[in-house]
Amino acid sequence: MKKALRILPLLLVFILAACQAQASTKIGDIEIVSPWARAATSMAGMEGGGGNGGAFMLLKNSGSTSDKLIRAASDVAETVEIHQTTMEGDVMRMSPVEFIEIPAGGEVELKPGSYHVMLIGLKQDLKAGDTINITLTFENAGETTVKVEVRTP
């Protein structure tokens, strides 16, 4: 029993390390860190239906040249776009952008009120604790699918 109690802390360290390792994905010089999506309802069956959601993450570029996030896709939404939120006077507006540039040796944070991946026309509810897949395409690094945790902000 005492031996098992001594091994338990070591086991917990390995479990936590495995969880942290899954919190980022690397493709080429781009690292996608802590991707998450906001819990949202699909509004299925309601007039107009197809609610919207947003996904957020940190994009780090360890390379010596800039790269661009040029596309996002997911099977949980009818349409997926790269968006930017801006303020025009007292009005907050979201609009699609063609790409997000990640500077060489730099990073860009996709966060509420800024750049984000917009999930338009949700096909299912995004419930806290669920995981969804989003495929990101970068101009130089290529394409990768990331597991995105759904959270309640």
pLDDT of residue 69: 98
Per-residue DSSP letters for 31-89? EEEEEEEE-B---TTSTT----EEEEEEEEE-SSS-EEEEEEE-TTEEEEEEEEEEEET
Whether 20 has a pLDDT exceeding 50, the answer reads no
Tens-place pLDDT, residues 50-69: 799 999 999 999 999 999 99
* Distance of alpha carbon 118 from alpha carbon 56, whole angstroms: 9
pLDDT of residue 46: 59
Domains of the chain and any CATH numbers: 25-151 (2.60.40.1890)
Whether 143 has a pLDDT exceeding 70, the answer reads yes
Mean pLDDT of 81-91: 94
pLDDT of residue 14: 42
8: Cβ contacts below 8 Å, ≥ 6 apart:
none
pLDDT of residue 153: 75
Whole-number average pLDDT of the chain: 87
* Distance of alpha carbon 74 from alpha carbon 15, whole angstroms: 28
Mean pLDDT of 16-28: 66
pLDDT of residue 45: 55
Tens-place pLDDT, residues 112-141: 999 999 999 999 999 999 999 999 999 999
Within a 13 Å sphere around the CA of 140, how many CA atoms are in the beta-carbon half? 17
C-alpha distances (whole Å) from 23 to each of 2, 26, 36, 59, 149 are: 33, 10, 10, 12, 9
3-state DSSP percent of the chain in helix, strand and coil, to 5: 15, 55, 35
